[in-house]
Each structure stands twice: as structure tokens, then as C-alpha cells.
Amino acid sequence: MVELIGNKKINLAVFISGKGSNFYALAKSSMLKKSKFKINLVISNNRKAKGLIFAKKFKIKKKILNFKNKNYTENKIIKLLSKDKIDLICLAGFMKILSKNFIKRFKGKIMNIHPSLLPKYKGLNVHERVIKNKEKYSGCTVHFVSSKLDSGKIILQKKVKVLKNDTPKSLAKKILKQEHLIYTKAIEKIYFNL
């Protein structure tokens, strides 16, 4: 567990590239009275990311950054994170790979959510591969980010049954529903021992 001073809420920055349904779930959960965190900032590398509409809905500051020059952009992010007193970065469908230096600097302070039972099925097109391999179970994982893709320490997982008639789409939908629940739980587990 991470030591917190006093009873303060932790400040999150969420990084997205697409639909942002996990961002939405985190934002919704942050609005609950009992919530242990607050989202101060959302960052997207994609100005067309659908999830950006939730920034407006929840009055969360948004920044759109193009990653053409990764070093320059990451330095900009570092300044933004410090300005907004961010304690934790939550990657949620963020499709850019952060540099080794950036990850090292925020060791233990970056989480990601992945739609498989890691260490199985790292990378993309997870559901297609799970179905092709006739797996009985799949699921989702919240993990710390390390410099190796989808390989950092696992924080929380949720198992989901793969049915005979599941398609990549139906499985993704089923798993996404669980993702929306476990991200909040994973944060509470690390910071509040809940």
C-alpha cells in the first residue's frame, strides 16, 4: 500500500485515446461522496477521442497532446502533472507507449487496464486470440506500468467465462463491464488498503 498523509483524496490524471468508457466509469465513481479520488486532468493523444466528451460532462480539465516528439510531449506532461498535483496516472485505452524514462520517473504511480487475464494475452486483438484458442475463461487486469508492455505487477483481476457462442464483440462487452468495476477497486486497494 502507498502511504498517504492524512485523509486526503488522491488526484488522478487519466490518459485516453478512444471511447473512454473506463474514463467515464472512473469519473462517475469519483463523484460518489465516499470516493477516495478526484480526477484533475484527462490527457489524450487524439483530439477525436470520443471519451473527451466526458471531460466536459464532469468538468475535468482536458489536454490534447500530439506525441510526434515524445520527449517534448512527456516533458510537457510532467509539468502538467506537477501543476495539478497528480498522485496517480491511470491509462485507460491509451494507445501510445510511454518512454522508459517517463515510466521510471513515475514508478508505482502509473496503472493500466488490460482486457485479458495477464500475463496471458498481452498486446492487441486479445478477444480474437482468446476465442481462437478456445479459452474457457478470460477477464481483465489492472496492473502497474513497467517498461515492458502489459507486464508490470498485477494489482487486481476479474475472471469472466467465455461462452461457446461468444464473439470478440460480445466478449469485449462482457469484459468491459467488469473493467469499469475493477479500476476503482484497484486504486482503493493500493492507496487505501480497501
Active site residues: 114
Answer for which of 15, 22, 127, 162 binds ligand GRF (CB under 6 A) is: 22
Residue 108 is placed in which grid cell? 508505482
Residues 26 to 55: which contact ligand GRF by CB under 6 A? 51
Q: What is the nearest approach in angstroms of ligand GRF to the Cβ of residue 3?
A: 28
DSSP letter at 19? -
Q: What is the nearest approach in angstroms of ligand GRF to the Cβ of residue 34?
A: 23
Total Cβ atoms within 10 A of residue 189: 15
179 is a site residue for ligand GRF (CB under 6 A): yes
CB closer to ligand GRF, 8 vs 161: 161
19 is a site residue for ligand GRF (CB under 6 A): yes
CB closer to ligand GRF, 115 vs 152: 115
Q: How far apart are the first and last CA of the chain?
A: 10
Helix, strand or coil, per DSSP, at residue 15: strand
Residue 102 is placed in which grid cell? 517517463
115 is a site residue for ligand GRF (CB under 6 A): yes
Answer for which of 80, 131, 154, 176 binds ligand GRF (CB under 6 A) is: 176
Give residue 119's Cα distance to chain centre.
Answer: 17
Residues 84 to 113: which contact ligand GRF by CB under 6 A? 92-93, 113
With vertex at residue 63, the alpha carbon angle to CA 97 and CA 23, rounded to the nearest 5 degrees, is: 70
18 is a site residue for ligand GRF (CB under 6 A): yes
Residue 68 is placed in which grid cell? 510526434
DSSP letter at 164? T
Residue 109 is placed in which grid cell? 504511480
Q: Which residues bind ligand GRF (CB under 6 A)?
A: 16, 18-22, 51, 92-93, 113-115, 176, 179
